[in-house]
Structure 1
Amino acid sequence: MKILIIEDEARIARRIERMTRDFFDKNVRILLSDSVENGLNIIEENSIDLMLLDLNLNGEDGFDVLQSVVARSFQTIIISAYTDKAITAFNYGVLDFVPKPFDQNRLWQAFTRFTSPEKQSGGELQFLAVKKAKAVKLIKINEIRYIKGAGIYTELHLSEGRIELHDKSLESLEKLLPPTFQRIHKSYILCWNEAEKLTVEAGGKYNILLKNGDLLPVGRSKYKEMKNKLI
Protein backbone atom coordinates (compact mmCIF):
# COMPACT_ATOMS: atom_id res chain seq x y z
CA MET A 1 0.00 0.00 0.00
CA LYS A 2 1.24 3.49 -0.85
CA ILE A 3 0.17 6.46 1.28
CA LEU A 4 1.05 10.03 0.37
CA ILE A 5 1.34 12.61 3.16
CA ILE A 6 1.31 16.23 1.97
CA GLU A 7 2.22 18.38 4.98
CA ASP A 8 4.61 21.36 5.08
CA GLU A 9 5.47 21.22 8.81
CA ALA A 10 8.15 18.55 9.22
CA ARG A 11 7.27 17.84 12.87
CA ILE A 12 3.61 17.22 12.08
CA ALA A 13 4.51 15.20 8.97
CA ARG A 14 6.69 12.89 11.09
CA ARG A 15 3.90 12.54 13.66
CA ILE A 16 1.36 11.64 10.98
CA GLU A 17 3.83 9.16 9.47
CA ARG A 18 4.40 7.47 12.85
CA MET A 19 0.67 7.18 13.57
CA THR A 20 0.07 5.87 10.06
CA ARG A 21 2.72 3.17 10.41
CA ASP A 22 1.32 2.20 13.81
CA PHE A 23 -2.14 1.68 12.30
CA PHE A 24 -1.16 0.01 9.04
CA ASP A 25 1.49 -2.59 8.34
CA LYS A 26 4.99 -1.43 9.26
CA ASN A 27 6.01 -2.12 5.68
CA VAL A 28 3.47 0.29 4.20
CA ARG A 29 5.21 2.65 1.80
CA ILE A 30 4.80 6.27 2.85
CA LEU A 31 5.64 9.12 0.50
CA LEU A 32 6.15 12.64 1.86
CA SER A 33 5.64 16.03 0.24
CA ASP A 34 5.71 19.58 1.59
CA SER A 35 4.32 21.44 -1.43
CA VAL A 36 1.56 21.40 -4.01
CA GLU A 37 3.93 20.96 -6.96
CA ASN A 38 5.91 18.12 -5.40
CA GLY A 39 2.73 16.39 -4.26
CA LEU A 40 1.26 16.47 -7.76
CA ASN A 41 4.52 15.12 -9.20
CA ILE A 42 4.48 12.21 -6.75
CA ILE A 43 0.89 11.42 -7.68
CA GLU A 44 1.76 11.36 -11.38
CA GLU A 45 4.71 9.02 -10.79
CA ASN A 46 3.12 6.61 -8.30
CA SER A 47 -0.02 4.55 -7.83
CA ILE A 48 -1.42 6.01 -4.60
CA ASP A 49 -3.97 4.23 -2.38
CA LEU A 50 -4.55 7.01 0.15
CA MET A 51 -3.63 10.70 0.37
CA LEU A 52 -3.39 12.63 3.66
CA LEU A 53 -3.57 16.31 2.75
CA ASP A 54 -3.05 19.56 4.62
CA LEU A 55 -4.86 22.58 3.17
CA ASN A 56 -2.23 25.22 4.01
CA LEU A 57 1.12 24.36 2.44
CA ASN A 58 3.56 27.23 3.00
CA GLY A 59 0.85 29.63 1.90
CA GLU A 60 -0.24 27.40 -1.01
CA ASP A 61 -3.82 26.11 -1.07
CA GLY A 62 -4.16 22.33 -0.66
CA PHE A 63 -7.40 22.54 -2.61
CA ASP A 64 -5.20 23.00 -5.69
CA VAL A 65 -4.09 19.40 -5.15
CA LEU A 66 -7.57 18.17 -4.34
CA GLN A 67 -9.16 19.76 -7.40
CA SER A 68 -6.48 18.26 -9.63
CA VAL A 69 -6.83 14.68 -8.36
CA VAL A 70 -10.43 14.46 -7.11
CA ALA A 71 -11.37 12.16 -10.00
CA ARG A 72 -8.56 9.69 -9.26
CA SER A 73 -9.11 6.21 -7.86
CA PHE A 74 -7.51 6.77 -4.43
CA GLN A 75 -9.23 8.13 -1.31
CA THR A 76 -8.32 11.39 0.44
CA ILE A 77 -8.31 12.36 4.11
CA ILE A 78 -7.88 16.06 4.93
CA ILE A 79 -5.83 16.96 8.04
CA SER A 80 -6.20 20.68 8.60
CA ALA A 81 -6.90 23.45 11.10
CA TYR A 82 -9.17 25.15 8.56
CA THR A 83 -12.38 23.52 9.80
CA ASP A 84 -14.47 26.13 7.96
CA LYS A 85 -13.43 24.34 4.76
CA ALA A 86 -14.70 20.95 5.90
CA ILE A 87 -18.04 21.19 4.09
CA THR A 88 -16.32 22.18 0.85
CA ALA A 89 -13.85 19.31 1.26
CA PHE A 90 -16.66 16.78 1.76
CA ASN A 91 -18.40 18.22 -1.27
CA TYR A 92 -15.29 17.30 -3.24
CA GLY A 93 -15.60 13.69 -2.11
CA VAL A 94 -12.95 13.38 0.61
CA LEU A 95 -13.34 10.40 2.91
CA ASP A 96 -12.83 12.31 6.16
CA PHE A 97 -11.73 15.68 7.57
CA VAL A 98 -9.47 15.46 10.63
CA PRO A 99 -9.22 18.86 12.36
CA LYS A 100 -5.94 20.03 13.86
CA PRO A 101 -4.92 19.63 16.60
CA PHE A 102 -5.63 15.91 16.41
CA ASP A 103 -4.74 12.84 18.43
CA GLN A 104 -4.07 9.25 17.44
CA ASN A 105 -7.64 8.12 18.11
CA ARG A 106 -9.12 10.68 15.73
CA LEU A 107 -6.67 9.89 12.96
CA TRP A 108 -7.20 6.16 13.44
CA GLN A 109 -10.96 6.75 13.22
CA ALA A 110 -10.35 8.17 9.74
CA PHE A 111 -8.15 5.20 8.84
CA THR A 112 -10.92 2.86 10.01
CA ARG A 113 -13.29 4.54 7.56
CA PHE A 114 -10.71 3.83 4.85
CA THR A 115 -10.26 0.15 5.70
CA SER A 116 -13.89 -0.65 6.57
CA PRO A 117 -16.07 -2.11 3.79
CA GLU A 118 -19.15 -0.52 5.38
CA LYS A 119 -20.57 2.93 4.69
CA GLN A 120 -20.08 5.21 7.70
CA SER A 121 -21.51 8.60 8.57
CA GLY A 122 -19.55 11.54 7.25
CA GLY A 123 -19.98 14.63 5.13
CA GLU A 124 -22.66 15.03 2.51
CA LEU A 125 -21.18 14.55 -0.95
CA GLN A 126 -22.59 17.04 -3.46
CA PHE A 127 -20.91 15.90 -6.67
CA LEU A 128 -18.52 13.40 -8.22
CA ALA A 129 -15.64 14.50 -10.42
CA VAL A 130 -14.81 12.71 -13.66
CA LYS A 131 -11.81 13.20 -15.92
CA LYS A 132 -12.57 14.59 -19.38
CA ALA A 133 -9.39 14.80 -21.48
CA LYS A 134 -7.11 16.97 -19.30
CA ALA A 135 -9.98 18.65 -17.46
CA VAL A 136 -12.15 17.64 -14.50
CA LYS A 137 -15.93 17.71 -14.86
CA LEU A 138 -18.25 17.84 -11.86
CA ILE A 139 -21.35 15.64 -11.87
CA LYS A 140 -24.10 16.58 -9.41
CA ILE A 141 -25.10 13.72 -7.14
CA ASN A 142 -28.80 14.40 -7.79
CA GLU A 143 -28.21 13.73 -11.51
CA ILE A 144 -27.13 10.11 -10.91
CA ARG A 145 -29.74 7.34 -11.34
CA TYR A 146 -27.43 4.44 -10.65
CA ILE A 147 -23.79 3.39 -10.78
CA LYS A 148 -22.55 0.24 -12.48
CA GLY A 149 -19.25 -1.53 -11.96
CA ALA A 150 -17.31 -1.71 -15.24
CA GLY A 151 -13.98 -3.44 -14.75
CA ILE A 152 -11.45 -1.02 -13.27
CA TYR A 153 -13.94 1.84 -13.76
CA THR A 154 -17.50 2.59 -12.73
CA GLU A 155 -20.25 3.93 -14.97
CA LEU A 156 -22.33 6.84 -13.71
CA HIS A 157 -25.76 6.56 -15.36
CA LEU A 158 -27.28 10.03 -15.34
CA SER A 159 -30.85 11.31 -15.40
CA GLU A 160 -30.71 12.53 -19.00
CA GLY A 161 -29.44 9.14 -20.22
CA ARG A 162 -25.75 10.06 -20.45
CA ILE A 163 -23.03 7.77 -19.06
CA GLU A 164 -19.80 9.05 -17.52
CA LEU A 165 -16.84 6.89 -16.47
CA HIS A 166 -15.38 7.29 -12.98
CA ASP A 167 -12.03 5.99 -11.73
CA LYS A 168 -13.15 5.03 -8.22
CA SER A 169 -14.43 1.50 -7.56
CA LEU A 170 -17.97 0.70 -6.42
CA GLU A 171 -16.59 -0.08 -2.96
CA SER A 172 -14.88 3.32 -2.73
CA LEU A 173 -17.93 5.21 -3.96
CA GLU A 174 -20.23 3.31 -1.61
CA LYS A 175 -18.34 4.80 1.36
CA LEU A 176 -18.76 8.34 0.03
CA LEU A 177 -22.30 8.45 -1.31
CA PRO A 178 -25.24 9.81 0.76
CA PRO A 179 -27.87 7.45 2.30
CA THR A 180 -30.15 7.81 -0.74
CA PHE A 181 -27.74 5.48 -2.58
CA GLN A 182 -27.75 1.77 -1.81
CA ARG A 183 -25.85 -1.27 -3.02
CA ILE A 184 -28.44 -3.58 -4.59
CA HIS A 185 -26.09 -6.01 -6.34
CA LYS A 186 -22.37 -6.75 -6.51
CA SER A 187 -22.24 -4.62 -9.67
CA TYR A 188 -24.82 -1.88 -8.95
CA ILE A 189 -25.46 1.04 -6.61
CA LEU A 190 -28.92 2.59 -6.98
CA CYS A 191 -30.29 6.02 -6.08
CA TRP A 192 -33.32 4.82 -4.14
CA ASN A 193 -35.46 7.72 -5.41
CA GLU A 194 -35.33 6.11 -8.88
CA ALA A 195 -36.89 2.80 -7.75
CA GLU A 196 -40.38 1.87 -8.99
CA LYS A 197 -41.01 -1.80 -8.12
CA LEU A 198 -39.40 -5.21 -7.69
CA THR A 199 -39.94 -7.99 -10.20
CA VAL A 200 -39.30 -11.72 -9.96
CA GLU A 201 -38.42 -13.85 -12.99
CA ALA A 202 -38.64 -17.60 -13.39
CA GLY A 203 -35.82 -19.31 -11.58
CA GLY A 204 -35.84 -16.82 -8.75
CA LYS A 205 -34.02 -13.96 -10.47
CA TYR A 206 -34.79 -10.61 -8.89
CA ASN A 207 -34.82 -7.22 -10.61
CA ILE A 208 -35.81 -3.68 -9.77
CA LEU A 209 -37.69 -1.55 -12.27
CA LEU A 210 -36.71 2.11 -12.33
CA LYS A 211 -39.03 5.02 -13.03
CA ASN A 212 -37.36 5.55 -16.43
CA GLY A 213 -37.96 1.91 -17.43
CA ASP A 214 -34.46 0.55 -16.82
CA LEU A 215 -34.31 -2.87 -15.19
CA LEU A 216 -31.44 -3.64 -12.80
CA PRO A 217 -30.55 -6.95 -11.13
CA VAL A 218 -30.98 -7.33 -7.38
CA GLY A 219 -28.74 -9.64 -5.37
CA ARG A 220 -30.46 -12.49 -3.50
CA SER A 221 -29.14 -11.20 -0.19
CA LYS A 222 -30.60 -7.76 -0.92
CA TYR A 223 -34.08 -8.81 -2.06
CA LYS A 224 -35.83 -8.88 1.33
CA GLU A 225 -34.41 -5.48 2.30
CA MET A 226 -35.46 -3.99 -1.05
CA LYS A 227 -38.96 -5.48 -0.71
CA ASN A 228 -39.44 -3.97 2.74
CA LYS A 229 -38.37 -0.57 1.49
CA LEU A 230 -40.84 -0.62 -1.38
CA ILE A 231 -43.85 -1.57 0.74
Structure 2
Amino acid sequence: MNILIVEDESRIAKRIERMTRDLFGNSLQSLTHINTLNEALAFIENNTLDLVLLDLNLNGDDGFDLLSTAVAESFHTIIISANKDQALAAFEYGVLDFVPKPFNQDRLEQAFNRVFTKEKSENDQTKLLAIKKRGRIQLIPIADLRYVKGAGSYTELYLTDGTTELHDKSLEKLEQLLLHTFERIHKSYLVKIDEIKEIKVSSGSKYTVVLKSGDLLPIGRTKYKDLKTKWV
Protein backbone atom coordinates (compact mmCIF):
# COMPACT_ATOMS: atom_id res chain seq x y z
CA MET A 1 0.00 0.00 0.00
CA ASN A 2 1.21 3.48 -0.91
CA ILE A 3 -0.49 6.05 1.32
CA LEU A 4 -0.46 9.85 1.40
CA ILE A 5 -1.43 11.86 4.51
CA VAL A 6 -2.49 15.45 3.77
CA GLU A 7 -2.67 17.22 7.13
CA ASP A 8 -1.41 20.65 8.21
CA GLU A 9 -1.17 19.99 11.97
CA SER A 10 2.10 18.21 12.69
CA ARG A 11 0.91 16.62 15.94
CA ILE A 12 -2.17 15.10 14.32
CA ALA A 13 -0.22 14.01 11.25
CA LYS A 14 2.28 12.11 13.42
CA ARG A 15 -0.60 10.42 15.25
CA ILE A 16 -2.23 9.38 11.97
CA GLU A 17 1.11 8.14 10.69
CA ARG A 18 1.74 6.05 13.83
CA MET A 19 -1.73 4.50 13.72
CA THR A 20 -1.46 3.85 9.97
CA ARG A 21 1.83 2.01 10.42
CA ASP A 22 0.34 -0.05 13.26
CA LEU A 23 -2.80 -0.96 11.31
CA PHE A 24 -1.31 -1.66 7.88
CA GLY A 25 1.85 -3.37 9.14
CA ASN A 26 3.84 -5.20 6.48
CA SER A 27 1.36 -4.32 3.75
CA LEU A 28 2.53 -0.69 3.92
CA GLN A 29 5.04 0.07 1.17
CA SER A 30 5.28 3.85 1.50
CA LEU A 31 3.77 6.51 3.75
CA THR A 32 4.17 10.19 2.90
CA HIS A 33 3.04 13.26 4.84
CA ILE A 34 2.39 16.59 3.07
CA ASN A 35 0.98 19.67 4.79
CA THR A 36 0.03 21.99 1.92
CA LEU A 37 -2.60 21.78 -0.79
CA ASN A 38 -0.39 22.58 -3.78
CA GLU A 39 2.35 20.13 -2.76
CA ALA A 40 -0.25 17.41 -2.29
CA LEU A 41 -1.74 18.05 -5.75
CA ALA A 42 1.73 17.82 -7.32
CA PHE A 43 2.51 14.62 -5.40
CA ILE A 44 -0.73 12.96 -6.50
CA GLU A 45 -0.02 13.86 -10.12
CA ASN A 46 3.46 12.33 -10.05
CA ASN A 47 3.10 9.27 -7.82
CA THR A 48 1.14 6.02 -7.71
CA LEU A 49 -1.10 5.81 -4.65
CA ASP A 50 -3.57 3.37 -3.09
CA LEU A 51 -5.06 5.65 -0.44
CA VAL A 52 -5.16 9.34 0.53
CA LEU A 53 -6.01 10.51 4.06
CA LEU A 54 -7.16 14.10 3.68
CA ASP A 55 -7.95 16.96 6.04
CA LEU A 56 -10.37 19.55 4.69
CA ASN A 57 -8.73 22.64 6.22
CA LEU A 58 -5.12 23.02 5.11
CA ASN A 59 -3.62 26.24 6.47
CA GLY A 60 -6.78 28.05 5.36
CA ASP A 61 -6.93 26.31 1.96
CA ASP A 62 -10.05 24.29 1.17
CA GLY A 63 -9.43 20.54 1.03
CA PHE A 64 -12.32 20.22 -1.43
CA ASP A 65 -10.02 21.80 -4.03
CA LEU A 66 -7.90 18.67 -3.70
CA LEU A 67 -10.82 16.31 -3.13
CA SER A 68 -12.38 16.94 -6.53
CA THR A 69 -9.07 15.88 -8.09
CA ALA A 70 -8.44 12.98 -5.71
CA VAL A 71 -11.76 11.24 -6.26
CA ALA A 72 -11.12 11.16 -10.02
CA GLU A 73 -7.99 9.08 -9.44
CA SER A 74 -7.63 5.31 -9.11
CA PHE A 75 -7.17 5.36 -5.30
CA HIS A 76 -9.69 5.69 -2.48
CA THR A 77 -9.91 8.82 -0.31
CA ILE A 78 -10.72 8.91 3.41
CA ILE A 79 -11.43 12.27 5.02
CA ILE A 80 -10.08 12.94 8.53
CA SER A 81 -11.51 16.29 9.59
CA ALA A 82 -13.11 18.26 12.42
CA ASN A 83 -15.51 19.82 9.89
CA LYS A 84 -18.33 17.36 10.55
CA ASP A 85 -20.80 19.63 8.78
CA GLN A 86 -18.97 18.85 5.52
CA ALA A 87 -19.31 15.08 5.83
CA LEU A 88 -22.38 14.88 3.59
CA ALA A 89 -20.73 16.94 0.86
CA ALA A 90 -17.61 14.77 1.07
CA PHE A 91 -19.65 11.58 0.67
CA GLU A 92 -21.46 13.12 -2.30
CA TYR A 93 -18.06 13.46 -3.98
CA GLY A 94 -17.39 9.74 -3.50
CA VAL A 95 -15.06 9.36 -0.49
CA LEU A 96 -14.83 5.92 1.12
CA ASP A 97 -15.25 7.21 4.68
CA PHE A 98 -15.31 10.36 6.81
CA VAL A 99 -13.48 10.10 10.14
CA PRO A 100 -14.39 13.03 12.42
CA LYS A 101 -11.80 14.59 14.72
CA PRO A 102 -11.10 13.85 17.50
CA PHE A 103 -10.71 10.17 16.60
CA ASN A 104 -9.23 7.06 18.16
CA GLN A 105 -7.46 4.07 16.65
CA ASP A 106 -10.64 1.97 16.60
CA ARG A 107 -12.43 4.52 14.41
CA LEU A 108 -9.47 4.79 12.04
CA GLU A 109 -9.24 1.00 11.88
CA GLN A 110 -12.93 0.86 10.96
CA ALA A 111 -12.21 3.15 7.99
CA PHE A 112 -9.13 1.16 6.98
CA ASN A 113 -11.07 -2.10 7.10
CA ARG A 114 -13.06 -0.86 4.12
CA VAL A 115 -9.78 -0.68 2.22
CA PHE A 116 -8.57 -4.10 3.47
CA THR A 117 -11.75 -6.06 2.91
CA LYS A 118 -13.18 -4.01 -0.01
CA GLU A 119 -16.20 -3.48 2.25
CA LYS A 120 -18.83 -1.21 0.77
CA SER A 121 -19.34 2.24 2.22
CA GLU A 122 -22.21 2.38 4.71
CA ASN A 123 -23.26 5.75 3.36
CA ASP A 124 -25.48 5.81 0.31
CA GLN A 125 -24.58 9.44 -0.36
CA THR A 126 -22.39 9.38 -3.45
CA LYS A 127 -24.04 11.71 -5.96
CA LEU A 128 -21.12 12.60 -8.22
CA LEU A 129 -18.31 10.82 -10.02
CA ALA A 130 -15.30 12.92 -10.95
CA ILE A 131 -13.46 12.12 -14.17
CA LYS A 132 -10.38 13.59 -15.81
CA LYS A 133 -11.21 14.99 -19.23
CA ARG A 134 -8.98 17.13 -21.45
CA GLY A 135 -6.78 18.03 -18.51
CA ARG A 136 -9.70 19.13 -16.34
CA ILE A 137 -11.93 17.53 -13.69
CA GLN A 138 -15.54 16.99 -14.73
CA LEU A 139 -18.25 15.98 -12.25
CA ILE A 140 -20.85 13.51 -13.53
CA PRO A 141 -24.10 13.15 -11.55
CA ILE A 142 -24.84 9.56 -10.53
CA ALA A 143 -28.38 10.24 -11.78
CA ASP A 144 -26.93 10.42 -15.31
CA LEU A 145 -25.20 7.05 -15.04
CA ARG A 146 -26.83 3.97 -16.60
CA TYR A 147 -24.19 1.27 -16.05
CA VAL A 148 -20.47 0.75 -15.54
CA LYS A 149 -18.22 -1.64 -17.43
CA GLY A 150 -14.85 -2.83 -16.19
CA ALA A 151 -11.97 -2.16 -18.56
CA GLY A 152 -8.90 -3.59 -16.87
CA SER A 153 -7.76 -1.22 -14.11
CA TYR A 154 -10.16 1.43 -15.48
CA THR A 155 -13.92 1.60 -15.97
CA GLU A 156 -16.22 2.86 -18.70
CA LEU A 157 -19.19 4.94 -17.57
CA TYR A 158 -22.27 4.60 -19.80
CA LEU A 159 -24.51 7.65 -19.44
CA THR A 160 -28.22 8.18 -20.07
CA ASP A 161 -27.48 10.57 -22.96
CA GLY A 162 -25.73 7.76 -24.85
CA THR A 163 -22.17 8.97 -24.26
CA THR A 164 -19.36 7.05 -22.58
CA GLU A 165 -16.68 8.38 -20.24
CA LEU A 166 -13.57 6.76 -18.76
CA HIS A 167 -12.91 6.62 -15.01
CA ASP A 168 -9.54 5.80 -13.42
CA LYS A 169 -11.08 3.77 -10.59
CA SER A 170 -11.49 0.02 -10.99
CA LEU A 171 -14.91 -1.64 -11.05
CA GLU A 172 -14.28 -3.00 -7.54
CA LYS A 173 -13.60 0.47 -6.13
CA LEU A 174 -16.67 1.98 -7.77
CA GLU A 175 -18.75 -0.91 -6.45
CA GLN A 176 -17.73 0.11 -2.93
CA LEU A 177 -19.01 3.64 -3.51
CA LEU A 178 -22.22 2.90 -5.47
CA LEU A 179 -23.87 0.93 -2.71
CA HIS A 180 -27.64 0.75 -2.99
CA THR A 181 -28.56 2.09 -6.42
CA PHE A 182 -26.22 -0.18 -8.39
CA GLU A 183 -25.84 -3.95 -8.50
CA ARG A 184 -22.90 -6.09 -9.61
CA ILE A 185 -24.49 -8.38 -12.21
CA HIS A 186 -21.32 -9.78 -13.74
CA LYS A 187 -17.57 -9.70 -13.19
CA SER A 188 -17.45 -6.85 -15.72
CA TYR A 189 -20.66 -4.89 -15.05
CA LEU A 190 -22.35 -2.69 -12.46
CA VAL A 191 -25.92 -1.70 -13.36
CA LYS A 192 -28.32 0.85 -11.90
CA ILE A 193 -31.24 -1.27 -10.71
CA ASP A 194 -33.80 1.35 -11.82
CA GLU A 195 -32.52 1.04 -15.41
CA ILE A 196 -33.43 -2.67 -15.66
CA LYS A 197 -36.47 -3.34 -17.83
CA GLU A 198 -36.35 -7.13 -18.05
CA ILE A 199 -34.32 -10.18 -17.07
CA LYS A 200 -34.15 -12.87 -19.77
CA VAL A 201 -33.33 -16.53 -19.30
CA SER A 202 -32.08 -18.44 -22.35
CA SER A 203 -31.24 -22.09 -22.96
CA GLY A 204 -28.02 -23.27 -21.40
CA SER A 205 -28.68 -21.21 -18.25
CA LYS A 206 -27.71 -17.96 -19.93
CA TYR A 207 -29.03 -14.82 -18.26
CA THR A 208 -29.32 -11.35 -19.74
CA VAL A 209 -30.41 -7.94 -18.46
CA VAL A 210 -32.43 -5.76 -20.81
CA LEU A 211 -32.12 -2.08 -19.91
CA LYS A 212 -34.74 0.58 -20.59
CA SER A 213 -32.31 1.95 -23.17
CA GLY A 214 -32.38 -1.36 -25.04
CA ASP A 215 -28.84 -2.34 -24.02
CA LEU A 216 -28.32 -6.05 -23.37
CA LEU A 217 -25.84 -7.02 -20.66
CA PRO A 218 -24.78 -10.48 -19.44
CA ILE A 219 -25.61 -11.72 -15.95
CA GLY A 220 -23.13 -13.98 -14.20
CA ARG A 221 -24.63 -17.32 -13.16
CA THR A 222 -23.78 -16.69 -9.51
CA LYS A 223 -25.41 -13.23 -9.64
CA TYR A 224 -28.79 -14.20 -11.15
CA LYS A 225 -30.74 -15.19 -8.01
CA ASP A 226 -29.56 -12.21 -5.98
CA LEU A 227 -30.29 -9.77 -8.80
CA LYS A 228 -33.76 -11.20 -9.40
CA THR A 229 -34.61 -10.81 -5.71
CA LYS A 230 -33.46 -7.19 -5.57
CA TRP A 231 -35.02 -6.19 -8.86
CA VAL A 232 -38.43 -7.70 -8.16
Q: Which amino acid aligns with 2:204?
A: G
Contact 1:87 1:123 in 2 (8 A): no
SS in 1 for 2:204: coil
**What are the ranges of 5 or more consecutive residues in structure 2 without an aligned counterpart?**
none
1:81 to 1:150, Cα distance in 2 relative to 1, 3 A? same
Report how far residue 4 of structure 1 moved: 0.0
Cα distance in 2 for residues equivalent to 1:123 and 1:100 = 22
Q: Which amino acid aligns with 1:6?
A: V
Q: Which amino acid aligns with 1:37?
A: N
RMSD value, Cα: 1.3
Report how far residue 212 of structure 1 moved: 1.4
Q: Deviations over 1:160-202 (max 9, x none)?
A: 1111111100100011114010101000001000111211222
1:127 aligns with 2:128: yes
| TM norm structure 2 | 0.95
Cα distance in 2 for residues equivalent to 1:42 and 1:229 = 42
Q: Which amino acid aligns with 1:184?
A: I
Task: Report the counterpart of residue 14 of structure 1 in structure 2.
Answer: 14
Task: Report the counterpart of residue 139 of structure 1 in structure 2.
Answer: 140
1:34 aligns with 2:35: yes
Count of aligned positions: 231
Cα distance in 2 for residues equivalent to 1:44 and 1:136 = 13
Cα distance in 1 for residues equivalent to 2:121 and 2:79 = 17
Q: Which amino acid aligns with 2:176?
A: K
Q: Deviations over 1:63-94 (max 9, x none)?
A: 12112332111110010001111111111111
Q: Which moved more, 1:193-202 or 1:45-54?
A: 193-202
Task: Report the counterpart of residue 82 of structure 2 in structure 1.
Answer: 81
**What are the ranges of 5 or more consecutive residues in structure 1 without an aligned counterpart?**
none
Cα distance in 2 for residues equivalent to 1:43 and 1:30 = 13
Instruction: Could you list the structure 1 runs, at least 4 aligned residues long, displaced by more than 6 angstroms after superposition.
Output: none
SS in 2 for 1:102: coil
Task: Report the counterpart of residue 190 of structure 1 in structure 2.
Answer: 191
Q: Which moved more, 1:125-134 or 1:37-46?
A: 37-46
Task: Report the counterpart of residue 25 of structure 2 in structure 1.
Answer: 25
Cα distance in 2 for residues equivalent to 1:119 and 1:20 = 20
Q: Which amino acid aligns with 1:51?
A: V
Report how far residue 114 of structure 1 moved: 1.6
Contact 1:96 1:123 in 2 (8 A): no
1:104 aligns with 2:105: yes
SS in 2 for 1:24: helix
Cα distance in 2 for residues equivalent to 1:43 and 1:207 = 40
Cα distance in 2 for residues equivalent to 1:114 and 1:120 = 10
Q: Which amino acid aligns with 1:91?
A: E
Q: Deviations over 1:105-152 (max 9, x none)?
A: 111111011222332412500110111111111111011111000122
Cα distance in 1 for residues equivalent to 2:126 and 2:2 = 25
SS in 2 for 1:221: coil
Contact 1:197 1:230 in 2 (8 A): no
Contact 2:201 2:207 in 1 (8 A): yes
Q: Which amino acid aligns with 2:203?
A: A
Task: Report the counterpart of residue 170 of structure 2 in structure 1.
Answer: 169
SS in 1 for 2:207: strand
